Amino acid sequence: MIKERYLVTGAAGFVGGNLVRLLAQRGILVRALVRPGGQKMAEDIEGVEVVEGDFCDPTILPSLLKDIAGVYHIAALFRQQGFPEEVFRRVNAEGVKTLLDACLDAGIKRFIHCSTVGVLGHIEQPPADENTPYQPGDVYQQTKMEGELIALDYFRSGKIGGNVIRPGMVYGPGDMRTLKLFSMVAKGRFFYVGEGMATVHFVDVRDLAFSFILAMEHKDVNGEVFIIAGDTVLPLRDLAKMIADKCEVREPWLKLPVKPMQWAGGLCEALCAPFGIEPPLYRRRVDFFTKDRSFNTNKAKRLLGFTSKQTVSAEVDDILHWYKEHGHI
């Protein structure tokens, strides 16, 4: 019997790489798509075929999708300075349609699309769920919303089976986006904007990877959106204290006023934008300190059987161990 093979886009990224490893551990064959000249796969994995290419290029898709049973579409253009809006749209929206059309031509029956809770923007009344209205706040969130809607149209019209996964704030060993937070706390340099009481709702990257597989394997569930996050919502202040305690340093105490920091963030963005450089401070960073983010994940538990296996405390231990092992802290 010939084993099925699945395509994972964005396979060299944090989320995609963890999904590839989990699929391989389960004995599932994988074709891993990585960008030419971009980040490489961290390791050689048995049963994983690595292919370089751009999923937005329709000329490569027939060969890329040959003998593929299903697609996990993880790749996206995240927030980066220097890219105009049309590039975000090409990757995060138009690229989704290009890939889906190629899947139809190839006779592929199933497609799992990775979106983001960011499409909801600022959560007015947390916890948010899958019925919370879209309210994207920047070009990344806007184009991810557009891509999500394209995927849902294909799923709900019966063109192809599949679902949308919206991860919460992803973290785990190997995550470089949380390094600044952990490093600043560990070095006693972290501070709050405001009181530090805004809530954060993380999802362990390994739990997230498993949710993609659940969404693929539940072939009777189609055209649905699932928010995936852990079981624990906690104030930023509690998370910072937990990290400080585990690092045996003083917990953060400095609190800066919100309004001046928002003003400074807007000024930094305006000054840096013409030069295409990353601002040292921007308004979304201030939002991290001031806006609650919590989500209801009952739908994923009910329809997919999703459960979060990692506690926040154990996860912080794992992340700190990885950072220390690799010389980051």
The answer to whether residue 82 scores a pLDDT higher than 80 is: no
Name the residue with tokens 């396979």.
11
247 falls in which pLDDT band (50, 70, 90)?
very high
pLDDT tens digits for range 50-65: 999 999 999 999 999 9
Spell out the domain ranges in the chain: 5-172+201-231+294-309
275 or 159, greater pLDDT: 159
Label residue 146 left, alpha or beta by phi (over 0 means left) and psi (-120 to 50 means alpha): alpha
| pTM for the structure as a whole | 0.93
Query: Whole-angstrom Cα distance, residue 63 to residue 66?
Result: 5
pLDDT at position 248, please?
A: 96
160, 108 contact by CB (below 8 A)? yes
pLDDT tens digits for range 129-157: 999 999 998 899 999 999 999 999 999 99
240 falls in which pLDDT band (50, 70, 90)?
very high
The answer to whether residue 42 scores a pLDDT higher than 60 is: no
229, 203 contact by CB (below 8 A)? yes
pLDDT tens digits for range 168-177: 999 999 999 9
The answer to whether residue 81 scores a pLDDT higher than 70 is: no
Instruction: Report the chain's mean pLDDT, rounded to a whole number.
Output: 93
Question: Which of 5-9, 178-182, 199-203, 271-275 is the least confident region?
Answer: 271-275
pLDDT at position 43, please?
A: 65
The beta-strand segments (E) located in the chain are 5-9, 29-34, 48-52, 68-73, 110-114, 161-167, 169-171, 192-193, 199-200, 202-204, 225-228, 234-235, 255-256
The DSSP bridge pattern shows strands 199-200 and 225-228 to be unpaired
pLDDT at position 19, please?
A: 98
Task: Name the residue type at position 139.
Answer: V
Residue 275 DSSP code: G
The answer to whether residue 77 scores a pLDDT higher than 70 is: yes
pLDDT at position 271, please?
A: 85
287 falls in which pLDDT band (50, 70, 90)?
confident
pLDDT at position 3, please?
A: 81
Percent of the chain with pLDDT strictly greater than 70: 96
pLDDT at position 102, please?
A: 98
The answer to whether residue 79 scores a pLDDT higher than 80 is: no
The answer to whether residue 282 scores a pLDDT higher than 80 is: no
The answer to whether residue 285 scores a pLDDT higher than 60 is: yes
The answer to whether residue 24 scores a pLDDT higher than 60 is: yes
Average pLDDT (17-31) is: 96
The answer to whether residue 1 scores a pLDDT higher than 60 is: no
Q: Which CATH number fits domain 5-172+201-231+294-309: 3.30.2270.10, 3.40.50.720, 3.30.360.10, 3.40.605.10?
A: 3.40.50.720
Average pLDDT (302-321) is: 95
